[in-house]
Amino acid sequence: MAVTISNTPNPNALKFTVGVDVGGPATFVAGKESDDATASALLAIEGVTSIFMTADFVTLSKTPAASWDAIAPAATTILEERFGA
């Protein structure tokens, strides 16, 4: 299953559905170390501030100044590589 992206009520958050169990629930925040390789890779994307992982989706939050045009493709690539979507 390909990663699908959905809007949320928050314009600074997007839901990435991967179609397989991602574990969690777990929250990761920029500036705090994580031993989760997927979370670390997503937090390395410029502008990403936090990640929420549960069930079959990952929600990313960004700074208001960051652009989804740059974040979404990078996040999709990471999620496809990690979850084999």
CATH of domain 4-83: 3.30.1370.70
| Tens-digit pLDDT profile for residues 36-76 | 999 999 999 999 999 999 999 999 999 999 999 999 999 99
pLDDT at residue 9, rounded to an integer: 96
Q: Residue 56: how many CA atoms within 13 Å on its side-chain side?
A: 12
Query: Is this prediction's pTM over 0.75?
Result: yes
CA distances from 16 to 28, 33, 63 (A): 15, 22, 17
- Exposure string of 61-79, with b = 16+ CB inside 10 Å and e = fewer, is bbeeebebeebbebbbebb
Domain ranges of the chain: 4-83
| Tens-digit pLDDT profile for residues 22-40 | 988 999 999 898 899 999 9
Helix (H) / strand (E) element for 79: namely helix 68-83
